[in-house]
Amino acid sequence: MRVDIARALCLDSPLIVFDEFTSVVDREIAKVSAYAISKAVRRSRKKFVAVTCHYDVVDWLEPDWVFCTDTMEFSRKKEVGRPLNSRFIGAALNCGRCFGSIII
């Protein structure tokens, strides 16, 4: 996983998507990894989409947006960006725009 993420950060692709990138490590390693990934993604100006069932990763990655499949709701982690409303979300999903640098 760490090698795959490092490689993805080095490639020219502006979008990185990972599923369960912290599921096979203990929570302390997950914390350090998520924090390092967050810093690297923001420095590279790439977009990172993380798919996970571990809610603790949200605090460590500090994503711009979170979509919770339990409640089927979007929420904004940071106090930046456009207001969260269904019209904006629908338009962004339909045309494939990203909501920020890091999304869970």
Task: Count up the domains in the chain and report the number.
Answer: 1
Which pLDDT score, from 0 to 100, does residue 69 have?
A: 82
Which pLDDT score, from 0 to 100, does residue 43 have?
A: 92
Entry pTM: 0.71
pLDDT under 70 in the chain at which residues? 77-104
> Dihedral of the CA atoms 14, 47, 95, 87 (nearest 10)?
-160
Inter-residue contact 48 to 16 (CB < 8 Å) = yes
84 lies in which domain range?
2-103
